[in-house]
A and B are shown apart, each in its own frame.
Chain A
Amino acid sequence: MAAPFSWLRPEAHGLYIVPADAWIDPARPVDLALITHGHADHARGGHGRTVATAATLAIMALRYGTGEGAVPVDYGESIPLPGGVRATFVPAGHVLGSAQILLEHAGERVVVTGDYKRRPDPTCPPFEPVPCDVFVTEATFGLPVFRHPPIEQEITRLLAARDEHPGRCLLVGAYALGKAQRVIAELRRAGHGEPIYLHGAMERMCRLYQDWGIALGELRPVAGLPPAALAGQIVVCPPSALNDRWSRRLPDPLTAMASGWMRVRQRARQRQVELPLIISDHADWDELTGTITEVDPGETWITHGREDALLRWCELTQRKARALALVGYEDEDD
């Protein structure tokens, strides 16, 4: 019999499922790809066949055009892969369509989380812990300094800033897939009923979310509006547009950014953000360590992020763990 888990091999550009000749979130085109979620660092175009949730496939189609070779799966649905491997997609709570992938082969169970969080999110079903032998986790915020506050608190700060500066436009930088829609949905939940204005790069993704039944309220494009019309309004744009030419048209914008990195003052200052909102779609330190404790796998593999600290924590709590040196997964804006 082969060594335990030798059928799943971490390669530089993704996790390779040997008997199935399939890849999870590969960084280059392959014949058979399993995709955890639609963020560009995980979902790339050009694969022969792409297995993912229908929402993730819709997001990929929006970004890369054709939906050729798409194989949709439902949450909880188990599909057979070549070589005696079964794959089950389980909610990860990260963004619309995001999934953990449970792989079963030769009596061994491996869960690949992709990116995940444990906080409630009105735009996607919550993370479900799945018992397994190997838990392959992300560690984007894998440092004990990262403890995300409740999102309600951050949304309250955002609305308070808007009330305090009625003449300024509140410009919120948020990742175009997931973060933007979650912030909008949470604003609605907090009772903000006015139209929310969108940077052009946000419009199609928000429409996709709405088509998938996520209520975002009235959204309007910024393009073509006179600056005065935006005073006192909330505008959502990609982080890259916060301090670029595009934002010059806005009336005295107060720049906010929704990101887990905003926990660190210097990161917020580098971004020239006036109102840092600590809102993340990734698990913070307590969620990472809490999830590993809850799933209690035989082994923990850490894919990307601040793996050193999480590895150290596993060592301190006497858990078997290893860091996989995967490249290309890092989300500076999330």
Chain B
Amino acid sequence: MIAFAALVDALVYSRSRNGKLALIADYLRATPDPDRGWALAALTDGLDFPAVKASTVRNLLMDRVDPVLFQLSRDYVGDTAETASLLWPEPATIPGPPPTVGEAVAALSAMTRASVQQGLAALLDRLDANGRYALLKLATGAMRLGISARLAKVAFAQAFGVSVEDVEEYWHGQVPPYLPLFDWAANGAPPPSGEDLPLFRPFMLAHPLDPAAEPDLADYAAEWKWDGIRVQVSCNGVETRVYSRSGDDISATFPEIAAALTIPAVLDGELLVRGSYQGAAEGGAASFNALQQRLGRKSVSKAMLADYPAFVRLYDVLIAEGEDLRPLAWERRRMALEGLVPRLDPDRFDLSALIPARTFAELAEVRAAARDAAIEGVMLKRRDSPYGAGRRTGLWYKWKRDPLLADCVLMYAQRGSGKRSSFYSDFTFGCWTGDPDQGGELLPVGKAYFGFTDEELKWLDRHVRQHTVNRFGPVRETDRSLVLEVAFDSIHASKRHKSGLAMRFPRIHRIRSDKPAHEADRIETLRALIAD
């Protein structure tokens, strides 16, 4: 628990992704089983102890310290676990050495609602303040350290010098403390087998296309890149799971998809919501905005299922009826997919059509004309490409639509984090409600923190400092003199913002210090670009 507590504290204060990766990797290498496996699960919110409720810790403290002093402390610190770790009255004699993570997990798992108060107290008595903090965070399952499943896997791979793709593939179906996984990575044992589970297979990804390369369409097939989320639907004949691009199991969020695949197969496609916005000719899909209503939910209401029915537009097949098709050429897999689709529930699955362009120039025309269909762009896949994990050079390319552009006025700036903590690097910009000479005002339409070069960032930082008119904590309001050309993928109606607009992927495209602020775009111009 001491090493785990030190790791938790180091992660709390670590600001860079690489720093976090190195900390976790060092811990995984240096810590024995099963502690490291439990720790990994705790960091990624994988542990649940039903006997420990949010109120448990509070009640525990209320019995030991004055309630008024506890409440004043809690209000100041802002976190119950941290308050409790600092206020815990240490026993005059420490009853034993600090518990290991494994020991703590075993004790916590065995606790009941009747025994939890006493059991948790016994563990806390053996720890110092930092140890108590880590234990309480682990016990209540709320680490909030910003460690995603993906980051944990990358750290695991880094710790033992194995590939992230292998880690992703073998991870699935493994439960904490992941002993077979560590045995494989650290000791060279055979990889864990998960044949009896609907496993996740790492996605094949695409590189951005350099259009100047003009790939020959005799070698590459073209298809649409739909604006939903990439998913994998994996069925072993008994159970079906839906996985997101990061490998998270999102079956509970999209139960209708999980229920619809009953043939043992692993399919790759774009998850969309029914609508009339994109690709109407092949059974319409709604905009990404509509899909967003469904994302991130742990359970789905009947109304949600009825109002936003989901389906998967299929790109590829990895495994069909027990046969691993991944080593085969894309063309072969495509034939297998086309053969498979008629056997699937047509409400839940359809086929992503190929674009019948014969030359690159023709494809460029089709892509340019697809603007109002609000498709994300086109994909180019080498006809002989096997399905390999990750980004492989020369096999798949994505060619995104050209972005939409708007001239906006810089309104507020905020300091960034990490390397950018001394720079004003988060920019909020707005457009005019009407003619600025006739009383039109600026309303914020978006916020962007990338798109500029390091040199441009220095320039923007200086501009913000020299044109500050107001300060609100870390935020500065600027004098609204600078025009920024903002690029974005699409724009949607939003009730959340006063302007009624929300941009998707806004970024600073160009600094237009040449353009007077009153010539920036109007809200109505942006509203005309809404494509919901």
Interface residues of A (CB under 8 A from B): 143-147, 243-245, 247-248, 263-266, 268-269, 272-276, 306, 308-309, 312-313, 316
The 8 Å CB contact of B13, one of A243, A245, A264, A268, is: A268
Q: Which of B71-79, B236-244, B262-270, B389-397 contacts A (4 or more CB under 8 A)?
A: B71-79
A309-B422 contact given A145-B76, A145-B87, A265-B82, CB 8 Å threshold: no
Contact B86 A263 (CB under 8 A): yes
The answer to whether B12 and A265 touch across the interface, beta carbons within 8 angstroms, is yes
Instruction: From the candidates B13, B66, B76, B82, name the one contacting A312 in the complex (CB within 8 A).
Output: B66
Chain B contributes a number of interface residues (CB within 8 A of A) equal to 25
Residues of chain A lying within 8 A (CB to CB) of residue B65? 144
Task: Output the least CB separation between A143 and chain B (Å).
Answer: 5
Q: What's the minimum C-beta distance from B468 to chain A, rounded to whole angstroms?
A: 14
Partner of B69, one of A144, A243, A263, A272: A144
- Report the minimum CB–CB distance from B129 to chain A (whole Å): 8
Whole-angstrom CA separation of A26 from B468 in the bound complex: 33
Tell me if B13 and A275 are in contact (CB < 8 A).
yes
Q: Interface majority SS on B: helix, strand, loop or mixed? A: helix
Which of A145, A247, A275, A316 lies in contact with B86, CB distance below 8 A?
A: A145
Q: Cβ of A313: which chain B residues have Cβ within 8 Å of it?
A: 69
Residues of chain A contacted by B78 (CB below 8 angstroms): 264, 266
How far is A273 from B10 in the complex, measured between Cα atoms in Å? 11
B73 x A145 contact (CB < 8 A):
yes
Q: What separation, in Å, do the CA atoms of A129 and B78 have in the docked complex?
A: 34
Q: Nearest-CB distance from A253 to chain B (Å)? A: 10
- Residues A272 and B12 in contact, CB atoms below 8 Å apart: no
Partner of B72, one of A143, A147, A274, A276: A143
**Ranked 8 nearest A-B pairs via Cβ:** A145-B86, A243-B421, A309-B72, A145-B73, A274-B13, A312-B68, A272-B421, A143-B73
Contact B422 A312, beta carbon cutoff 8 Å: no
Measured CB to CB, the closest approach of chain B to A3, in angstroms, equals 30
Residues from chain A with a CB closer than 8 A to the CB of B69 are: 143-144, 309, 312-313
- Apart from A247-B422, A265-B79, list 9 A-B contacts with CB within 8 A: A143-B73, A244-B422, A265-B9, A265-B133, A269-B12, A309-B68, A309-B69, A312-B66, A313-B69
**Closest residue of A by beta carbon distance from B128:** A149
Cross-chain contact B86 with A309 (CB below 8 angstroms): no
Question: Which single member of B13, B68, B133, B422 contacts A276 (CB below 8 Å)?
Answer: B13
- Residues 1-22 of B contacting A (Cβ, < 8 Å): 9, 12-15
Q: Mark B124-147, 1 if CB is under 8 A from A, else 0.
A: 000001000100000000000000
Query: Are B422 and A266 within 8 A (Cβ)?
Result: no
A235 vs B15: C-alpha distance when bound (angstroms): 20
Give, as a whole number of angstroms, the nearest-CB distance from A269 to chain B. Answer: 7
Instruction: State whether the Cβ of B415 lies closer than 8 Å to any Cβ in chain A.
Output: yes
- Chain A proximity of B342: nearest CB distance (Å): 55
A167 to B82, CA, bound (A): 33
Q: Are B87 and A144 in contact (CB under 8 A)?
A: yes
- Cα(A266)–Cα(B74), bound, Å: 13
Identity of the chain A residue whose Cβ is nearest the Cβ of B73 in the assembled complex: A145
Q: In the complex, how many angstroms separate the beta carbon of B127 from the nearest chain A beta carbon?
A: 15
Q: Mark B44-88, 1 if CB is under 8 A from A, else 0.
A: 000000000000000000000110110011001111001100110
In the complex, the answer to whether B83 meets A145 with C-beta atoms within 8 Å is: yes
Measured in the bound complex, the distance between the Cα atoms of B421 and A308 in whole Å is 35
Q: Separation in Å of the B333 CB from the closest CB of chain A? A: 47
Q: Cα distance A266–B86 when bound, in Å?
A: 14
Residue of A nearest to B83 (CB): A145
Chain B residue at minimal CB-CB distance from A243: B421
Min CB–CB distance B428 → chain A (angstroms): 20
Complex CA distance for A266 and B77, rounded to whole angstroms: 8
What residues of chain A lie closer than 8 Å to B14, measured between beta carbons? 274
**Chain A residue with minimal CB distance to B8?**
A265
Partner of A309, one of B12, B15, B73, B77: B73
Q: How far is the CB of B350 from chain A (nearest CB, A)?
A: 47
Complex partner residue of B15 from A143, A247, A274, CB under 8 angstroms: A274
Q: Scoring B residues 72 to 113 as 1 if CB is less than 8 Å from chain A, else 0, what string do you get?
A: 110011110011001100000000000000000000000000
> Please, which residues of chain A bring their CB within 8 A of the CB of B470?
none
17 contacts between A and B (CB under 8 A): A143-B69, A143-B76, A145-B76, A145-B83, A145-B86, A147-B129, A244-B422, A265-B82, A265-B133, A268-B13, A269-B12, A269-B13, A274-B14, A312-B68, A312-B69, A312-B72, A313-B69
Interface string of B281-292 (1 = CB under 8 A from A): 000000000000
B residues less than 8 Å from A145 (CB atoms)? 73, 76-77, 83, 86-87
Closest to A266 in B: B78
Q: How far is the CB of A312 from chain B (nearest CB, A)?
A: 5
User: Is the pair B68, A264 in contact by a Cβ cutoff of 8 Å?
Assistant: no
Closest to A315 in B: B68
**Is B417 among interface residues, defined by CB-CB distance under 8 A?**
yes
Contact across chains for B73 and A273 when beta carbons are under 8 A apart: no
Pick from B65, B68, B129, B415 the residue with the most CB of A within 10 Å.
Answer: B68
What residues of B have a CB within 8 angstroms of the CB of A147 in the complex? Answer: 86, 129
**Which residues of the partner chain A approach B417 to less than 8 Å between Cβ atoms?**
272
B415 to chain A, nearest CB (A): 7
Residues of B within 8 A of A265 (CB): 9, 12-13, 79, 82, 133
- B68 to chain A: which residues have CB within 8 Å? 309, 312
